[in-house]
Amino acid sequence: MYLVTVLGNLLITLTIIFDSKLHTPMYFFLSTLSLADICFISTTVPKMIANILIHSRVISYAGCLTQMSLLLVFACMDDMLLVVMAFDRFVAICHPLQYHIILNFHLCIFFVLVSLLFSILDSQIHNLIALQFSYFKDVEISNFFSDPALVLSLSCSDSVTKNIVMYFVGAVYGFIPVTAIILSYYKIISCILGISSSCGKYKAFSTCASHLSVICLFYGTGIAEYFSSFMSSSRKSAVVSLMCTVVTPMLNPYIYSLRNRDIKSALQRLWSRTTKSHHLFPPSYSKHKMTF
């Protein structure tokens, strides 16, 4: 599953880079999301595989905080990029003639940098709380990775501080992004309903189908992960965490490639380029001298 996730997201990224027809803001954000998914799954699964191979489930204190920090950075990066991609769809459908003017190259880079900044800020907030205790001894985390919620509950003896942090992070990185996505799609749906032809409505909505599928998958597993922290069974909680941290990044590239006509066309062009190179020389090239 790890190899499928890395190769799938890497294929999407390379296809967007090498196909000039995909050099648009939408696919720039998609390639950034694919890279974030590769980094997101790489923070947990390689360590889990190493633990299985060496039959050890021990992680150092520094390793625990590092894994938690990187996990939060790339999870929040996914969250922020989904909001940016919702805004991208809003501009493309509601203001199509001004699409490339509004979403110019500098604004796209600005959105990605701001998303990265907010992601780093989130991880550092969790780190500051976890650093209240500089040493853990024989502490068990009932998951296969350094779950931020579990680490925070272990390191923070003050329940008031913990609740303030959790509510603040939930509001900034949960409620606000979801509200922004809902508002964007409210405007999008209103604009689509105003289109007279059914063909135009279908074409406009089809450009949002892949993004909506990824949003439902991301926030659906995220909500399940949140409620799994209240489960008494650690095995059920680990299964939900596996869905959130492994299955979701694995499915994202296939949702975009299977439901997106541009990606499928770009993959076909990339495949034709690779196969065409085998027909550049005659079949008897090994028996005759080649002249140019």
Flag whether 53 is in a domain: yes
- Least confident range of 2-6, 50-54, 70-74, 276-280: 276-280
pLDDT of residue 74: 93
Greatest mean pLDDT among 106-110, 170-174, 196-200, 286-290: 106-110
Model confidence, pTM: 0.84
For the record, the structure tokens of 267 come out as 């993959």
Residue 255: C-alpha distances to residues 31, 53, 108, 216, 243 (Å): 14, 32, 23, 12, 16
| Residues spanned by the domain of 69 | 2-263
Q: Note the pLDDT tens digit of each residue in 172-185.
A: 778 888 899 999 99
What confidence tier does 137 reach under pLDDT thresholds 50, 70, 90?
A: low
Q: Note the pLDDT tens digit of each residue in 166-214.
A: 777 777 778 888 899 999 999 998 888 887 777 777 777 777 888 888 8
For the record, the structure tokens of 263 come out as 């990606």
What confidence tier does 96 reach under pLDDT thresholds 50, 70, 90?
A: confident
Flag whether 279 is in a domain: no
* CA–CA separation, 213 and 30 (whole Å): 14
pLDDT of residue 273: 73
- Least confident range of 1-10, 59-68, 274-283: 274-283
Flag whether 233 is in a domain: yes
pLDDT at 284 over 70: no
pLDDT at 81 over 90: yes
Q: Note the pLDDT tens digit of each residue in 221-240.
A: 877 776 666 555 566 677 77
The mean pLDDT value of the chain amounts to 81
Flag whether 55 is in a domain: yes
Q: CATH number of the domain that 139 lies in? A: 1.20.1070.10
pLDDT of residue 287: 45
Residue scoring higher pLDDT (267 or 2): 2
Q: Note the pLDDT tens digit of each residue in 243-260.
A: 888 888 888 888 877 667
What confidence tier does 38 reach under pLDDT thresholds 50, 70, 90?
A: very high
pLDDT of residue 269: 79
To which residue do tokens 């490639």 refer?
257
Flag whether 269 is in a domain: no
pLDDT at 86 over 90: yes
Flag whether 22 is in a domain: yes
What confidence tier does 73 reach under pLDDT thresholds 50, 70, 90?
A: very high
| Displacement of CA 112 from its chain's centroid (Å) | 13
Flag whether 270 is in a domain: no
Flag whether 254 is in a domain: yes
- State how many domains the chain has: 1
